[in-house]
Amino acid sequence: MIDSRAAFDRIFIEGMTFMTLIGVLEHEKVQPQPVTVDVILSVMPVQATRTDRLEQTISYAVAYERISQIIQTEHFGLVERLAGSIAEKLLLDHESLMAVTVTIHKPEAPLPGPFTSTGITITRVRGDFGLLTQADLSLGTNLGDRLETLRQAVLHLAGHPQIELVATSSVYETTPVGLLDQPDFLNLVARIRTTLDPFSLLFYCQSLETRFGRERLVRWGPRTLDIDLLTYGHLMTQTAILTLPHPRMQEREFVQVPLRELDSGLAKPTPAVRFTCKLP
C-alpha cells in the first residue's frame, strides 16, 4: 500500500514556550508553569512554493496564535489532552492540513528526581476526528456492460468506510474526446464526503480502475473504467500525480453537464453529452 504521507509538504514550528496552568496536582491548578510546543503540519504540496503567496500556505503566525489561544484560555490536566486539542483545532482550521504532529514538553513536572523534560508526541489525521471533506469524482466507461460498471463502481465508493456518498448525477452518453474511433462513453459525476486525504482517495480510485480491468495502453483510448478526482473541498494543489481542481474539468462537457445537474438540478444536455438514464 502506498503511504500518501510521503507526498506531503511539512511546515514546522519548534520551541514555542508558554506559561500556563497544566497538571492534576492542586498546586499545578493555581501556579503557572512552562510548556514548550513543537508542531509539524503535513499539508498537500503548497502552491506557495511556486507563487510566493502567503495565502496559499499555512501562516506560521496564524498557527502560533491559535496554539497560544488554546493554551492560554483552557486548563488541561494532562499534556496528552493538550496535544490532542491542538491537533484537532489546527485540523479543523485548515482544509489543506492533512496530518499534524504535536510534541508537548513539560520541563517542570513534579518528579522526585533530576530529569530534563517530560512530554508526549502525537500524530493525528483528519479521519481521527471524523473531519469530512466534499469531493467530486467523474466516472466514465466505454467497454463492456457500461451501465453495470458505473453502478458497481458507485457501490464500491459508497462501501468504503471513509467515504460517504452524497449524490450521483444522471448517466450521460458522450462522444469520445481525443481519440474519436472508439465506442461512446457513459459518464456520471459522484459527489462524496470523505476523511481520506486527496492522495489516498486518488489511490483508491485507481485501485477501482484496476479492479474493473483498466489498462493504460493508449492515451484517450477505450477503458473499462476511468475515475478522475475533480475537486477536493476548496483545495488547490499541483503535483506530478495530482492537480486540484482537475486542470481540464472546465473544458469537458461530459464533466460540466453532470456537475451542473448536481449543483443546480438543471443538466442542460448537449449534442455531445446526451441524457441516458438515472443510475439504477
Per residue in 67-109, pLDDT tens? 999 999 988 999 999 999 999 999 999 999 999 999 999 999 9
Is 197 a catalytic site residue? no
- Of these residues, 50, 228, 252, 274, which one is catalytic? 228
Q: What is the pLDDT of residues 29-47, one digit of tens each?
A: 999 999 999 999 999 888 8
Residue-level pLDDT at 268: 80
- Of these residues, 226, 248, 252, 260, which one is catalytic? 226
Give start-end residues of each CATH 3.30.70.560 domain in the chain.
Answer: 133-277
Question: What confidence tier does 63 reach under pLDDT thresholds 50, 70, 90?
Answer: very high
pTM of the model: 0.86
User: Which residue is it, cell 503535483?
Assistant: 239
Burial of 217 (0-12, 13-18, 19+ CB in 10 A): exposed
The DSSP output letter for 240 is S
Q: How far from 258 is each of 65, 86, 114, 194, 213, CA to CA, in Å? A: 42, 40, 66, 20, 25
Q: How many CB atoms lie within 10 A of CB 243?
A: 13
Mean pLDDT of 156-179: 93
CA atoms of 231 and 280, how far apart (whole Å): 25
Is 226 a catalytic site residue? yes
Contact by Cβ (8 Å): 150, 186: yes
Burial of 100 (0-12, 13-18, 19+ CB in 10 A): buried
CA atoms of 148 and 208, how far apart (whole Å): 14
Length of the chain: 280
Residue-level pLDDT at 1: 42
Give start-end residues of each CATH 3.30.1130.10 domain in the chain.
Answer: 4-129
pLDDT of 184 above 90: yes
Phi, psi torsion values for 131, nearest 5 degrees: -80, 110
Mean pLDDT of 159-181: 90
pLDDT of 275 above 50: yes
Contact by Cβ (8 Å): 280, 209: no
Mean pLDDT of 254-263: 94
Phi, psi torsion values for 105, nearest 5 degrees: -105, 130
pLDDT of 170 above 50: yes
**What percentage of residues in the chain have a pLDDT greater than 90?**
76
Mean pLDDT of 192-209: 96
The helix/strand count (H/E) of the chain reads as: 6, 12
DSSP assignment string, 151-183:
HHHHHHHHHSTTEEEEEE--EEEE--SS--SSP
Contact by Cβ (8 Å): 40, 11: yes
Q: H-helix or E-strand containing 121? A: strand 118-125
Is 191 a catalytic site residue? no
pLDDT of 185 above 50: yes
- Of these residues, 223, 252, 260, 263, which one is catalytic? 223
Q: What is the CATH number of domain 4-129?
A: 3.30.1130.10
Residue-level pLDDT at 2: 46
Buried b (16+ CB within 10 A) or exposed e, 6-34: ebbbebeeeeeebebbbbeeeebeeeebe
- Of these residues, 66, 81, 193, 214, which one is catalytic? 214
Residue-level pLDDT at 133: 96
In terms of phi and psi (left: phi > 0; alpha: psi -120 to 50; beta: otherwise), the region of 269 is beta
Is 53 a catalytic site residue? no
Q: In sequence order, which residues have a C-beta less than 8 Å from that of residue 9 and are 6 or more positions away?
A: 42, 43, 44, 45, 46, 49
CATH of 133-277, one of 3.30.70.560, 3.40.190.10, 3.30.1330.30, 3.10.450.240: 3.30.70.560
